[in-house]
Structure 1
Amino acid sequence: MRSIKLHTTALALIAMTATGAVAADSYGPFPVTLKGYAGDKTNSVSYSGQIARHALHDSLKKAAALGNGGANAAEVEAVMLSYFNGSDADLDILAPKSKDGFPIKQTTVNAISKGKNISGKFYGGAMPAWPGNGTGKDAVMHMIKMAAKSDKGFDAENGYDWGQVISKFTMGAMMYNQSVDNYLDEKLAADVKPNDKPYKDGAYYTGKEHSWDEGFGYWGAPAHAMSLTPQQAYAIAKGKDLAAADANGDGMVDLKTEYVFGPAYYAAGADKGGTKSTNYMHTIMQAFIDGRQVIADAKGEALTDEARAQLKAHAATIESNWEKVLAEAAFKYAGSVYKDINKMAEAEGEDKAKAYRAYVKHWGELKGFAMALQSGRNNLGATAVELNNLVGFGPVTMDNSYVTGVDAEGNFVRDRRMSWNDYQLNMLKTQELLKGKFGLKSLANDQLAELEALAGKLEAEASAETD
């Protein structure tokens, strides 16, 4: 396996030397094309800042589980905010970390890139999916505060797994939003970060080169993702399959270029699961590579209208498929929540508590991805309203109450109740909505075959009660 990989790499290098073009199956290296550059750089690709933010995100999720039920809330909140807001200190990477047989090169955030944060790149638009009628940033700050008060990130009373909600929301509110609504949108305009000028003073890359690279960095795929199967990419994100991850053969995983972070991981998960009929990971990856090649082919000149049109087409491919990845994940976890309710109905004692814990975890993933979908460039309008009504501010809890809002101090209010079967119907309607609105094909955990029977059962029960 190793000899084949090294041989393939050697052939790619020969091809680049002969033609000046990058191999079609890798995001870089791409040549330095900036006019007047006299330094020693030969590769214009740079997106380490985005990878640092992935590490901050993964570490923030890990830190959400540090609470002991309230006694150390201030300390935990400070730790979480250090990863969210950034820090003057060189923060340890809490996740991902090395495992036996899977050594990771970087152990601190600054080893990837210095001075980075999540907060400055977080979606600041309205977020009606969270109680309080605030912005996306207001919502995540509230989540962080509540996570710090929880017991290992779990709020059994209100039904929250804070690491899951925060993480999945951030995958939309930072990664997806910054890529599709900034770098692959505004920064593609002719007069914004033009290709015949450096991105900033002293840079060795052009405005358009670095803008596209930053959009790619938020995607979270390794540079060699086109040579990976979805199964391999999924395993890398789990800290497995060093041979697949280690593209340069140095015996360790470089987070900058060889690891699989959240968005790409969920694309791989959708491709390897469900109907196994999708190709999200490679479709998005190829569009990023092809777009970068368009910029490289301009050789440091301002992009023509034709070239910018090509870039916009690649950006549209990325956005539409990335949106589907988020919707597929929400669909999957709606199915998980439905099945978890069945398991809770059959369980007793400790088994019931374990089933409830899994239910809360899966709901947190569903809620986070539902919010992520509402953090992009597209206004989902009535779809968002319906999705938020079906999923709710919180899941149905053990006493059948659920969060309906927050009080003046930000504490959750649960003043309504719903039966488990009614909430299961909401989950099936959520799957129906997502499948229809986004044209989903992977459909992992598809429970829609149960919709007609459950709706009929509840209708019959309601009719009997009114007789």
Structure 2
Amino acid sequence: MKKTLLTAFIGASALSLHAQTYDFAVSLPDYQGDAGSSVSYGGQIARHALHNSLKKASKSGDLALMESYFSSKAEGLSILDPVSKKGFAIKQSSIDELSKGKDLKSSAYPGTITGWPGNLTGPEVLQQMVTNAANTKGGYDPVNGYDYTQLISKFTMGAVFYNKAVNDYLDEKLEADVKPNDKPYRKGAPYTGKEHVWDEAFGYFGAPINGLELTPKEVVQIVKLNPDYFAKADANKDGVVDLKTEMAFAHAYYAASIDASGKTDYFHTILQAFYDGRSVIQDAKGKVLSAAQREELKGYAKVIGVAWQQVIAEAAFKYAGSVYADLEKIAIIEESNGDVKKAYRNYVKHWGELKGFALSLQAAGRDLGRTQSQLDRLIGFSPVLFGNAQVVAANSKGEFTQSESVTMQEYKLNMLKVQNLLSSHFALTAKLNDRTGGMDDVLEQLKSGPSAEND
């Protein structure tokens, strides 16, 4: 989709009344059950709860606990996050209340992830991260510069939620001969094949059904379980927040947090496209979608895919700026012979967020071309470590090899190049934490030093 078309869509959605709720009546004419709604995506919300809980467990050092939320499909798992707190009651406390038999590993992008050492597939990268996290204190590996909590979380969001939505449900499953609209998704279901496909993609985005009526700030505060925003979260006023319909997760949260800057409207743009696309299916009244209806639906799917990808790129842009700032702080502390331990910890955390989002851009089966290889080289397999080294490889046991790299100060230039690359390739607007104005200063500092790219 051309930038101008997406920009026009964003402008139109921003001006809408935002009065629609993502809930639709049963359209199958021969349905005999008592369901009043045709919307169902409990499995997707279960995976959001698994992701949140895995992130929490990643600091425990308990591999069995982490595996239970990553790959086990076990029954009886408690939700570790989000959980009820004073002034903010959550309806569900177990994964099974959302959906049974779900995991994260089996839904991860199956292709090779070139940005991670070892030439591993998406599930293999996540498995290695989970295994390695269990061998650290609090999910933190200072030797190799890995914050596994951030790496696992950000890459899971991309490899599972983003990938499954845009590369499966909003792509292959929109074809005419896949999940037809004139039949129930399965025998006795109150929804058609196309209705359920679209709803599952919506579930993976992670927005509350009344999201079009909420401001970005309200969405952010709901995710933070701020009691002052409980009334906004509890849309049906039953005294609890239903994770299936009233909570925001993953990229929906990041879209809202970026929009809170006032520069973008990703959250509402994506939700409006989901709502409008679902309305197209609803209007078919349980009949096969016409060619025109499917083309309209694909148009909305493209809007969602482009804006969703931009949200991930905006997040990577922001954290590249954070890494740059961390490196500046480390240099100042070193010059004064201070203790860099805290600054280095922040540097590793922010790098993990940058890397996790950058890897996510690869995890949708969409070739980024030269941009992908440039991101891999500029960011590297690890942050630049003390002694000017970086991780360059990993063996089958997940053990990493380091080699000489650029200096930390040269690596600052890489972060500016990352921001410029993301901004230009993905036509970014918010560009939070933009540090590119300092590029001339960095070049002046480096003067005639070696190239800062990791070739």
The CA deviation at 1:351 is 5.1
Query: Which residue is 1:174 aligned to?
Result: 160
2:184 is matched with: 198
Superposed CA deviations along residues 351-396 of structure 1, whole A, max 9, x for unmatched, are 5211111111110000000000111142112110000100111001
Check the 8 A contact 2:75/2:100 in 1, yes or no: no
Q: Report if aligned partners of 1:24, 1:289 keep a CA contact under 8 Å in 2.
A: no
**1:246 — aligned with what?**
234
Q: How do 1:295-306 residues align onto structure 2 when only pairs under 5 Å count?
A: 295-306=281-292
Matched residue type, 1:398: F
How many Å separate the matches in 1 of 2:425 and 2:222? Answer: 31
Q: Where do residues 31-430 of structure 1 align in structure 2 (5 Å cutoff)?
A: 31-67=25-61, 76-240=62-226, 241-273=229-261, 276-347=262-333, 352-430=340-418
Counterpart check, 1:28 vs 2:22: yes
Give secondary structure in 1 for the equivalent of 2:60: coil
User: Relative to structure 1, is the Cα distance of residues 114 and 462 closer, same or farther in structure 2, using a 3 angstrom cutoff?
Assistant: closer
Q: Distance in 1 between matches of 2:450 and 2:39?
A: 61
The C-alpha deviation readout for 1:339-361, integer Å capped at 9, x for no partner, is 01111222368852111111111
Residue 168 of structure 2 aligns to a residue whose secondary structure is: helix
| C-alpha distance in structure 1 between counterparts of 2:224 and 2:414, whole Å | 31
Give the structure 2 partner of residue 446 of structure 1.
Answer: 434
Asked if 2 retains the 8 angstrom alpha-carbon contact of 1:154 and 1:161, the reply is yes
The Cα of 1:460 is off from its aligned counterpart by 3.4
- Shifted more, 86-95 versus 158-167: the winner is 86-95
Deviation at 1:264, TM superposition (A): 0.4
Q: Distance in 2 between matches of 1:24 and 1:204?
A: 27
2:212 aligns to what SS in structure 1?
helix
The letter for the 2-side match of 1:31 is: A
Q: Which moved more, 1:412-421 or 1:141-150?
A: 412-421
Q: Deviations over 1:97-129 (max 9, x none)?
A: 122211111111001111111122110001111
**Over residues 161-218 of structure 1, what are the superposed CA-to-partner deviations in whole Å (9 max), with x where a residue is unaligned?**
1010011011110000000011111110011000001111221110000000000000
Question: Does structure 2 conserve the Cα–Cα contact (< 8 Å) formed by 1:165 and 1:364?
Answer: yes
Q: Which runs of 5+ in 2 are unaligned?
A: 1-16
User: Deviations along 1:216-243, whole A, 9 cap, x unmatched?
Assistant: 0000000010111111111111111212
Q: Which runs of 4+ in 1 moved over 4 A?
A: 348-351
Pick which of 438-447 and 80-89 moved more.
80-89
How many angstroms apart in 2 are the aligned matches of 1:450 and 1:393?
25
Task: Give the structure 2 partner of residue 435 of structure 1.
Answer: 423
Structure-2 separation of matches of 1:144 and 1:30: 39
Going from structure 1 to structure 2, the CA distance change for 1:242 and 1:66 (only over 3 Å counts) comes to same
- Write the distance in 2 (CA, Å) between the matches of 1:372 and 1:222: 23
Deviation at 1:42, TM superposition (A): 1.2
Between the aligned partners of 1:28 and 1:394, the Cα distance in structure 2 is: 41
% same residue: 51
SS at match of 1:403: strand
- SS of the aligned residue for 2:448 comes to helix
Aligned residues of 1:180 and 1:377 also touching (Cα < 8 A): no
> How many Å apart are 1:461 and its aligned residue?
4.5
**AA matched with 1:48:** G
Distance 1:28 1:443 in 2: 30
Structure 1 counterpart of 2:10 = none
In 2: Cα distance, 1:316 partner to 1:81 partner = 34
1:269–1:198: structure 2 CA closer, same or farther, 3 Å change rule?
Answer: same
What one-letter code is carried by the residue in structure 2 that aligns with 1:417? Answer: S
What TM-score do you get using the length of structure 2 for normalisation?
0.92
SS of residue paired to 1:414: strand
CA apart distance, 1:415: 1.5
- The aligned amino acid for 2:433 is N
SS of the equivalent of 2:115 reads coil
Aligned residues: 431
Counterparts of 2:450 and 2:58 in 1: how far apart (Å)? 41
Is the alpha carbon distance of 1:235 and 1:351 closer, same or farther for their aligned partners in structure 2, counting shifts above 3 Å?
Answer: farther
Rate the CA distance shift 1:401–1:31 in 2: closer, same or farther, 3 A: same
3-state SS of 1:168 partner = helix
Which residue identity lines up with residue 316 of structure 2 in the other structure?
Answer: A
- Please say if residues 123 and 174 of structure 1, whose CA atoms lie closer than 8 Å, have aligned partners that are also in contact: yes
Question: Is the CA contact 2:74–2:101 (under 8 Å) kept in the aligned structure 1?
Answer: yes
Q: State the one-letter code of the partner of 1:388.
A: D
- Consecutive unaligned residues of structure 1, counting only runs of 5 or more, are 1-22, 68-75
Deviation of the 1:416 alpha carbon: 1.6
The one-letter code sitting in structure 2 at the alignment partner of 1:124 is P
Cα RMSD (Å) of the superposition?
A: 1.5
Q: Is the 8 A contact 1:35 1:196 kept in 2?
A: no
- Judge conservation of contact 1:404–1:416 (CA < 8 Å) in 2: no
Secondary structure of the 2:91 match is coil
Change (3 A) 1:88 1:408: closer
AA aligned to 1:168 is K
SS of 1:405's partner is strand
Shift of 1:31: 1.0
